[in-house]
Amino acid sequence: MSLTLAIIKPDAVGSGKAGKVLAHLEGAGFTVRAARMLSLSKAQAGAFYAVHKGRPFYDELVEFMTSGPVFPMVLEADDAVPLLRETIGATDPAEAAEGTVRKLYAESKGRNAIHASDSDENARQEIAFFFSEHERLGTGRS
């Protein structure tokens, strides 16, 4: 079993789809190990997406991610990182496969409902960004 981080983004939280997205993820085989709802500051969103600093969409991304509450969660499954990326679909919902979270719930490439870690190393860093060790419930990991 391994862990990954998902963030239900402000578009999906604000339109009342967080529960549907969470149910979809559980239906895909993930177990939720930690979750919370919070509002990111500009500095926090900028730091989380620091890898994209300088890209043309960076300011828009930070603005969007601070436009309302987000719902980060730690998810566990076999091969959690690739399984979650497959479950959520392509970044642009127009290119996402049928039945994926983004095909079902995303509005656009920017307002795309959900974030998922793209590697085990980034998953570790992104989980630590949002959750202290004692919040990662039931994982049995230190």
Binding site for ligand CMP (CB under 6 A): 52, 57, 60-61, 91, 109-110, 112, 115
Of 24, 52, 115, 134, the catalytic one is: 115
| Residue with the two structure tokens 């793209």 | 118
Considering the complex, state which of residue 4 and residue 112 has its C-beta at the smaller distance from ligand CMP. Answer: 112
Q: Return the beta strands (E) in the chain as ranges.
A: 2-8, 31-35, 71-77, 114-116
Say how many Å lie between the first and final Cα of the chain, rounded: 15
CB of 118 to ligand CMP, least distance (A): 8
Active site residue 134: no
Considering the complex, state which of residue 115 and residue 136 has its C-beta at the smaller distance from ligand CMP. Answer: 115
CA distance 83 to 34: 18
The closest of 45, 131, 48, 32 to 84, measured between CA atoms, is: 32
Considering the complex, state which of residue 63 and residue 133 has its C-beta at the smaller distance from ligand CMP. Answer: 63
CB of 140 to ligand CMP, least distance (A): 28
Show which residues are catalytic.
115
